Amino acid sequence: MNKNIFLLFLFINSVVWSQNTSYWQQHVDYTMDIDMDVNNYQFKGTQKLIYTNNSPDDLNQVFYHLQFNAFQPGSEMDIRLQNVVDPDRRMVNNIGTKENPIYESKIAKLSPDEIGYQRIISLSQNGQPVTHEVIGTILKVTLNEPILSGKKATFDMVFQGQLPVQIRRSGRNNEEGVALSMTQWYPKMAEYDFEGWNANAYIAREFHGVWGNFDVTIHIDKNYTIGGTGYLQNPQEVGHGYEDSSKKMNLPKEDKLTWHFKAPNVHDFAWAADANFMHDKIMAENDVTLHFFYKNNSEIKENWKKLQPKTAEILSYFNKHIGQYPYKQYSVIQGGDGGMEYAMCTLITGGRSYGSLVGLTAHEFAHTWFQFVLASNETKHSWMDEGFTSYISDLATNEVLEQQKTNPFSGAYRSYYYLVSSGKEEPQTMHSDRYDTNFAYSIAAYSKGQLFLTQLGYVIGQDNLEKTIKKYYEDFKFKHPTPNDIKRTAEKVSQLQLDWYLNYWTQTVTTIDYGIKSVTEKEIVLERIGEMPMPIDLTVTYIDGTKEDFNIPLRMMLGHKPTSAKIVKDWPWAAPTYSLNTKKAIQKVEIDPSKLMADVDQNNNIWTKD
């Protein structure tokens, strides 16, 4: 190889290398103008989307989500409901008995004026009509000319929509009578990232989006109050609790009001509206305005008032324990079908006990950090969103409601053990829609996902866990982190090797089971029964009544967590058993008294001398 060719080879290699490792993300700028008819739940809209291709690839096609199309008889969401063994109860009618249920898909029963749809009236790319095709809940667009790497394209769309009868997340007249839950309501560009197009059909869950700026104008009956994503630009022309009472109002004479919102740096835009909404606002830490929208209903009013200062405390808790909330408003809105997170807002059902209302608000608000600011790909790694959100919101709820639980995660451990014993567990690498059962999905995402962190605290130490969460947020906010990123962050903080942990816990259904095999006077033999290895905390009580804590490092970590326990020789992965000699005669041995290690059989974790 001559020297010039060799240098060229080095240059090409370095270019390829940098493309494979350097982070990029696409960018969107939406301008939408929507005219809502509150009588027939239909809306007309225009959408200008300036799409910036920051990828290294030239794009010949793009894909939009048309998620309302899921609410039509025969949609994939409908077919799935009719075939999954444990359909979401909100989405089916039980036409059998309680003992012998027969579920009927609510979607299958929708009439044409009850279905949801998004219809594309016209679409152009840079002013020229462009070929497009609706495939279920996806719009496939074959571009007239490629969007070259580093270049922009402008898409102009005219569309119509119909808000479906409330079945899941979006809809009209939810069970608590909220008129419009406008979520997943607009044609939305799919995310294109290092793994390619994320043009997932809307079957059940979850979401992955492109960050950008939204400028949304909504024309709606003047009696309706809107809460949602973004900052209202024209409060004096709207009122409804947004106005500055020290300034002059400028209300129009027409029957409709025009609401103009801007939302910078978000990857979704949601809103809800009702003619009977109360609207309260309070100021919280760092000049964040918290808005609350709820039905003017005496049964729920008191709880919704008490919720308000607690939401401010929850914000402070997350600011302190994760990182700063990057927006200036958050809205807690009664709507939807349970609780669902959106950018700068949540829709939750409101007729709940006070504790449930606060707990749910904490959970949905925590999603802002994990689903909207970090925004790992929830369709692929739901545990990084639902699990981490559950972890931090359980801690926040414990604090703001002064619950004083010593282990606020015990419910998640119970759920995980139940899943394991059911035999229905699937690895967390499964796509969110493709688990065989909703049961296995839910526990894998929420409970096992939460345990990823609680147990990581056991592995690397609680202080390191807290530092890991903060560093992870700081390093990866607005960057769609992947599972490897949380692992690498924990490794950098703890200086311990953790690839095994990510592998076993998230990519397999292997379980942890350690046992005390035998104890003689001054020797303990432990065995690893489950396939998944762990470092071991061991507490020994001696016959003289004294106690000693030991830490048995897992050799593959090449180190151990900071601990006051006595560090003993490491346990190599390949060895099924381990023996430990003590100086004094043994009365009792206990593996992991903290119970943070998710040992699926704890009957063999304690040995006591007869």
Query: CB of 486 within 8 A of CB of 384?
Result: yes
Q: Shortest gap between Cβ of 340 and Zn ion (angstroms)?
A: 8
Q: Cα–Cα distance between 191 and 214 in angstroms, integer? A: 16
- Smallest distance from Zn ion to CB 373, Å: 15
Nearer to Zn ion, 233 or 379 (CB): 379
Nearest to Zn ion of 386, 537 (CB atom):
386
> Which residue number, 193 or 364, has a Cβ lying nearer to Zn ion?
364
Count residues near Zn ion (CB under 5 A).
1
Among residues 381, 403, 522, 401, the alpha carbon closest in space to that of 452 is found at 381
What count of Cα atoms within 13 Å lies in the side-chain half-sphere of residue 261?
26
| Min separation Cβ 309 and Zn ion, Å | 23
What's the full length of the chain, in residues?
A: 610
Which of the residues 86 through 125 are near Zn ion (CB under 5 A)? none
Are the CB atoms for 359 and 332 separated by under 8 Å?
Answer: no
Contact flags string 18-57 toward Zn ion, x per CB under 5 A:
----------------------------------------
Judging by beta carbons within 10 Å of its beta carbon (0-12, 13-18, 19+), is residue 244 exposed, middle or buried?
Answer: exposed
- In 423-567, alpha helices (H): 438-442, 449-460, 462-476, 483-494, 499-507
CB of 559 to Zn ion, least distance (A): 34
Question: In the complex, what is the shortest distance from the CB of residue 540 to Zn ion, in angstroms, rounded to a whole number?
Answer: 41
Q: What angle do CA 371, 375, 381 make, to 5 degrees?
A: 90
Indicate the residue among 278 and 360 with the shorter CB distance to Zn ion: 360
Quick one: tokens of 470?
């903060």
Residues 382-401 within binding reach of Zn ion (CB under 5 A)? 386
For Zn ion, the closer CB: 391 or 514 = 391
Torsion angle of alpha carbons 138, 142, 145, 146, nearest 10°? Answer: 60
In whole angstroms, the minimum distance from the beta carbon of 367 to Zn ion comes to 6
Report how far apart, in Å, the C-alpha atoms of 491 and of each of 395, 468, 472, 537, 557 are: 23, 9, 11, 20, 10
Dihedral angle at the C-alpha atoms of 434, 438, 443, 446, nearest 10 degrees?
80
Q: How far is the CB of 389 from Zn ion (least distance, A)?
A: 5
393/376 Cα distance (integer angstroms): 18
In angstroms, the CA 132 to CA 185 distance is 19
Q: Contact region for Zn ion (CB under 5 A) — 31-39, 327-335, 380-388, 539-547?
A: 380-388
Measured from the CB atom, the residue of 159 and 473 that comes closer to Zn ion is 473
In order of 76, 84, 107, 119, 202, the CA distances from 79 in angstroms are: 5, 9, 9, 21, 12
Shortest CB 9 distance to Zn ion, Å:
49
Nearest approach, Cβ of residue 488 and Zn ion (Å): 25
Backbone angles phi, psi at 187, to 5 degrees: -60, 120
Residue 136 CB burial class (10 angstroms; 0-12, 13-18, ≥19): middle
Q: Which residue is nearest to Zn ion (CB)?
A: 386
Residue 348 beta carbon to Zn ion: minimum distance, rounded to whole angstroms: 11
Nearer to Zn ion, 47 or 415 (CB): 415
Closest approach of Zn ion to the CB of residue 441, in Å: 12
What is the closest distance, in whole angstroms, from the C-beta atom of residue 385 to Zn ion in the complex? 7
Return the number of the residue (386 or 570) whose C-beta is nearest Zn ion: 386
Whole-number Å distance between alpha carbons of 229 and 332: 10
Q: Six-digit token pair at 103?
A: 């579920």
Give the separation between CA 104 and CA 550, rounded to whole angstroms: 56
Of the candidate spans 9-17, 271-279, 379-387, 433-441, the one that interacts with Zn ion by CB under 5 A turns out to be 379-387
Contact status, residue 388 vs residue 215, Cβ threshold 8 Å: no
Nearer to Zn ion, 379 or 587 (CB): 379
For Zn ion, which is the closer residue by CB, 88 or 386? 386
List contacts with Zn ion (CB under 5 A): 386
